[in-house]
Amino acid sequence: MADAAPEFTADTASTDAGSADKSARMEQRKKWLVRLGLAVLVIGAIYALWYLLIGRNHVSTDNAYVNAEIAQVTPLISAQAVEVRVTDTQAVKRGDILVRLDPTNARIAVAQAEADLAEARRRFRQTAATSTSLSAQVRARGADIAQANAQLAAAQADYEKARVDLQRREALSPEGAVSGEEVTSARKAFAAARAGLEQARAGVATARATQGAAEGQLAANDALVSGSTIETDPAVLAAKAKLENARLDLGRTIIRAPIDGVVTRRQVQVGQRVAQGNPIMSIVPLAQVYVDANFKERQLRQVRVGMPATVVADIYGGDVVYHGKVVGFSGGTGSSLALIPAQNATGNWIKVVQRLPVRIALDPRELAAHPLRVGLSTEVEIDLSRH
């Protein structure tokens, strides 16, 4: 019995030690659980505070892409390309020569238009000179009328003399004072005088008609030059317009860059005949790119034009932040403006949250420091608290 007491005492001590260790672990676990709970509460409070102060005043999306108003370069005349000065990815400035077209036909057209203009001016001078000639003809016809009137007066006098002679001889003929031959001669003279009178009257009418025709020609010719100079004549102006158009086509044989940007999708080669109006390349204005952010319709309840926005591009990461502002909303959702719009008029229709493109204009200085390319992915956040 004396040997059993110590063994019992050791077992008891071991059990007590295990219980104490277990209690310590439970106490330690309890402390960690309390700490975890406090941490969760603190994080929750911080999140709630952040949401109340900041989070609820911001909307964001990662469905956003870089876009730009791409300029298409199209020739305004049809001709053969004799020189192509740019390649894809090449940066150009507005006014830089992109392509030279064969100017031969355009130069011939300019020469023809210049000849037509010279001919129009010559015709105007000729018409003006014709008016002077027609005025002289009108004056000459007036002299002809005066001459015809004088001849009419002489014929009238001859007629009166022949009439009186005939009447005198016819009065003396019954008494035998004049012979029949004299009476016959008097009658012939009277008939001749009457014919001469009619002829003189016709001559006056003809002279007057001729004068009227000359006056009509003069009036018609004056109408062509009246109120006009050699430079304001309608025919000359039309010839000038044709010459200007020909010179414009000659200038269009040199195709220049319409904007600053980077050449892309070049589709022209030396020797190729380009067609009027068909695009031969595009120019992307990297300094004027913007972001089209597709927000869910519920996110746009408080978004207004002019609100500030921040943009992060995947190509640079979060180290580069662009600042911009909302400049407008699309006229329709992405699905409604798609090539094949969704058809919801079915019996199994399910409502789908739509996205509306919102345009974000970016700071040009930040774009110059970190250029973007069309189509790059971005993340956009709009600050609703500032307007």
What CATH number does residue 301 fall under? 2.40.30.170
**Number of domains the chain contains:** 3
Using the predicted structure, report yes or no on whether residue 318 has a pLDDT greater than 70. yes
Query: Residue 231: which CATH number?
Result: 1.10.287.620
374 within some domain: yes
Asked whether residue 4 is assigned to any structural domain, the reply reads no
**Do 151 and 235 reside in the same domain of the chain?**
yes
> For residue 173, is it within any domain?
yes
Range of the domain at 186: 105-248
Q: Is the same domain home to 64 and 153?
A: no
The yes-or-no verdict on residue 60 having pLDDT over 80 is yes
Give per-residue pLDDT as tens, 204-236: 788 778 777 777 776 776 666 666 777 878 888
Task: Specify whether 60 is located in the same domain as 79.
Answer: no
CA R_g for the chain:
54
Both 371 and 309 in a single domain?
A: yes
Output the six-digit token pair for 99: 């392509």
User: Is 358's pLDDT higher than 50?
Assistant: yes
In a domain, 217, yes or no: yes
Q: Is the pLDDT of residue 341 over 70?
A: no
Asked if residue 31 belongs to a domain, the reply is no
Looking at the structure, tell me whether residues 234 and 117 fall in a common domain: yes
Lowest mean pLDDT among 6-20, 43-57, 95-109, 183-197: 6-20
For residue 50, is it within any domain?
no
- 12-26, 32-46, 78-92 — which is least confidently predicted? 12-26
Residues 127 and 230 in one domain: yes
262, 217: one domain: no
* pLDDT band, residue 12 (cuts 50/70/90): low
Is the same domain home to 317 and 328?
Answer: yes
The string of pLDDT tens digits covering residues 116-166 is: 999 988 887 877 777 677 677 777 777 777 777 888 788 788 778 878 777
Asked if the model's pLDDT at residue 329 lies above 60, the reply is yes
Residues 90 and 110 in one domain: no
Q: pLDDT tens across 191-212, in order?
A: 887 888 788 788 778 877 877 7
d(CA 312, CA 296): 19
pLDDT at 352 over 90: no
Instruction: Indicate whether 264 and 304 sit together in one domain.
Output: no
* 49: in domain: no
Q: Is residue 16 in a domain?
A: no
- Residue 4 binned pLDDT confidence (cut-offs 50, 70, 90): very low
Over the chain, what is the mean pLDDT?
82
Pseudo-torsion of CA 363, 368, 373, 377, nearest 10°?
A: -50
User: Same domain, yes or no, for 294 and 215?
Assistant: no
The per-residue pLDDT for 147 is: 79
Domain with residue 75: its CATH number is 2.40.50.100
Residues 276 and 217 in one domain: no
Predicted local confidence at residue 30, as pLDDT = 80
